[in-house]
Structure 1
Amino acid sequence: MFPRGRRLASACTRTVLVGMLVTGCALASPTGEGLGGPGSNAGTEVAVGAYLHYGSPGVERMRGLSHWLGGTELRAGHTYLPGDTWSNIEGAPDSLRSWARWRRARADRLFVLNVPMQERNEADVSDEQVAELIRAGARGEHDRHFRRLAKRLVTLGVPDTVIVLGWEMNGFNYTHRCRPDPENWKRYWRRIVAAMRSVEGQRLRFDFAPNRGGDAIAWTACYPGDDVVDVLGMDSYDQPPGHTFDEQVTQPYGLRQQVDFARAHGKQISYPEWGLFRNGDNPEYMRRMLRWIAEHKPLYHSITDYCPHGVWQCDQNPRSAQVFRTFLSARQGR
């Protein structure tokens, strides 16, 4: 679902794509009430995030967004490992150290890391080649790369990282896509999780995060099992399938099905990527998505904060930006 132009490989960097903040404040409801009111889970906090910049500069930009949100406390960070080479998937980028230092500075922070399942993850690899790669992974040929990543995270002092593994696997583009061989894809996911959990000292959680909607394959056909998934995520933008927010909720494999599936399987939910897109500056979408988040209380969510999707670093969506700022400001309800 994510526009192809944002894909992880960068012609000028080939380093980590995303630096994202997450705040620790409780969401304000559209009526201005906090989540501690009647009918809510008392004490529940929803971590709020935004893509700000790849790598270490994303950490610094948290301060600016915090100020814009009226001093909202920043509690967790989210970044991506590039999928160009196995060495980078193993955690080679220096910016991972910056995020780890940031995470260790406070005990209540959350670190979320998107991890590709294949190298050359943004190359135009054919379905036939992808199927071969999936089967190789299912046989355990790549286990060592993921053990090395887990060891690096433990060594860096972030053993409780949330791993968003093979995100948007139900789509058409990434080399780690599921459609060419769903059964072996699920076996491969299970091998990765087993390899990373075998590392002494790890306390990792694994987030299964498809695109909203059917896309190339129903994401339920790729679900690898309750024992190897901790969080059920979804990337969702204001674009088809689902021309209105109500359609985005009710469409097959949409927001409602995600929430219902997670509840049935005893999982928390998340929204690793969401934001504006085809419908431009759409404050109604922004209002409805924030209302949905307030109601369903994901572990975290992160708006993609660059044009055309964002609100703070993108000046072409002023009406949506005002909605976002009002809902998430630390001053809300004071």
Structure 2
Amino acid sequence: MSGRSRWMTGVCVSTAAAGLLLTGGTLAPPQRQVAAADTRLEVAVGAYLHYGSPGVDRMEGLSHWLGGTELRAGHTYLPGDTWANIEGAPDSLHSWARWRKARVDRLFVLNVPMQERNEAGVPDARVAELIRAGARGEHDHHFQRLAKRLVAIGVPDTVIVLGWEMNGFNYSHRCRPDPENWKRYWRRIVGAMRTVKGQRFRFDFAPNRGSDAIAWTRCYPGDDVVDIIGMDSYDQPPGHSFDEQITQPYGLQQQVDFAKAHGKRISYPEWGLFRNGDNPEYVRDMLEWIAEHRPLYHSITDYCPHGVWQCTENPRSAEVFQELLSPEQEGRSPPVSAAGLTRPTDR
């Protein structure tokens, strides 16, 4: 997320496309292969609203603002400050587990750091040492503890976004200092978590869009330890236009093509506005892309400057987001904002 701390931040496309974005479905077990011609693939709509229990509470408000659209993807992060938190210590996991279990078709999406002090500006040489330690299995027990906690609280089918934005410059779980051992480390983590009885985790490999610090394909750890090919994609360079964001090296099209070649679903764990302010054309283009390519889920980052509901800085983008994702309902009540206030309908 461009170096910001999540832990501290407290259609008509067409009638068919909009219907596709809003369709619900039952949660399937992890799938290693996806038929390219399967037009029944469904998209879970989600948003990152807060890391803890307030995020759970706000899901209902956002759904109401969207005219009753069911938010099937609940998305949060484990803080990467200490190993205890990476092991799942935050009490808010219980709130997210209750939300997930309330409906069979929901997805719980959890970003999991691969290193403690993940946003502490650790230099490359030290990161390389940490990667090698992980590749030797020195951190396996932390991830086994996390897996046991997730199973114990009733979310054994969690989507694990492990080591997100690994192709970037910022996080201590970045790949560039030692790509080969980074891949071994990912494999160790997945192997450790899969040893836990009852788990049905899916692992989401989610780089930043573009080449960033290293081509994300160089960090890909293998089809047997990845279930989903994700991508975090904000309205920022590289890619000044949406067409450039599609066609740039290691951009949106390459993600889709790579996933198809490897038999995987795609996802967008993070997307939203950033460098270009209130940009309704970007929001429309991104939702059209999602409707066309049918990721397993997508999750807008909904706080300023990225969001459209909790952030009042982007009223035109909010209008497009609401238009494209709200079901057609004559006479529905006025939508309510995160602050409990009715949003104006004449933005």
Name 2:16's counterpart in structure 1: 33
CA contact (8 A) 1:71 1:329 kept: yes
CA contact (8 A) 2:161 2:206 kept: yes
CA contact (8 A) 2:18 2:325 kept: no
**Superposed displacement of residue 225, structure 1:** 0.3
**Superposed displacement of residue 332, structure 1:** 6.9
Query: d(CA) in 2 for partners of 1:62 and 1:274?
Result: 17
- 1:75 matched to 2:58? The reply is no
Matches within 5 A, 1:251-290: 251-290=248-287
Query: d(CA) in 2 for partners of 1:200 and 1:29?
Result: 45
Secondary structure in 1 matching 2:72: strand
Query: d(CA) in 2 for partners of 1:117 and 1:301?
Result: 22
List gaps (5 residues or longer) in structure 1.
11-16, 19-27
**Superposed displacement of residue 8, structure 1:** 3.5
Tell me the amino acid that sits aligned with residue 196 of structure 1.
M
TM-score, normalising length from structure 2? Answer: 0.87
**Residue of 120, 123, 127 corresponding to 1:123:** 120
Name 1:176's counterpart in structure 2: 173
Matches within 5 A, 1:237-248: 237-248=234-245
- 1:85 matched to 2:82? The reply is yes
Query: d(CA) in 2 for partners of 1:162 and 1:43?
Result: 20
Secondary structure in 2 matching 1:58: helix
Aligned length, in residue pairs: 316
Matches within 5 A, 1:189-204: 189-204=186-201
Name 2:99's counterpart in structure 1: 102
CA contact (8 A) 1:206 1:228 kept: yes
Aligned-residue identity in percent:
79
Name 1:58's counterpart in structure 2: 55
The Cα offsets for residues 163-218 of structure 1, whole Å up to 9 and x where unpaired, read as: 00000000000000000000000000000000000111100000000000010000
**Superposed displacement of residue 31, structure 1:** 2.4
Query: d(CA) in 2 for partners of 1:146 and 1:3?
Result: 25
Query: d(CA) in 1 for partners of 2:276 and 2:111?
Result: 27
CA contact (8 A) 2:50 2:76 kept: no
Which contiguous aligned blocks of 4+ residues in structure 1 show a shift greater than 3 angstroms?
A: 34-37, 40-44
**Superposed displacement of residue 319, structure 1:** 1.0
Query: d(CA) in 2 for partners of 1:275 and 1:8?
Result: 14
- 1:231 matched to 2:214? The reply is no
**Residue of 42, 45, 48 corresponding to 2:42:** 45
CA contact (8 A) 1:72 1:329 kept: yes
Name 2:290's counterpart in structure 1: 293
**Residue of 150, 153, 156 corresponding to 1:159:** 156
Secondary structure in 1 matching 2:109: strand
Tell me the amino acid that sits aligned with residue 219 of structure 1.
W
Query: d(CA) in 2 for partners of 1:333 and 1:120?
Result: 50
CA contact (8 A) 2:117 2:172 kept: yes
List gaps (5 residues or longer) in structure 2.
21-36, 332-347
**Superposed displacement of residue 36, structure 1:** 6.5
Secondary structure in 2 matching 1:273: strand
Query: d(CA) in 1 for partners of 2:219 and 2:41?
Result: 30
The Cα offsets for residues 34-89 of structure 1, whole Å up to 9 and x where unpaired, read as: 4678xx95543211111212200111111111111001123231110001111110
**Residue of 300, 304, 317 corresponding to 2:301:** 304
CA contact (8 A) 1:32 1:333 kept: no
TM-score, normalising length from structure 1? Answer: 0.91
Name 1:23's counterpart in structure 2: none
Query: d(CA) in 1 for partners of 2:274 and 2:72?
Result: 27
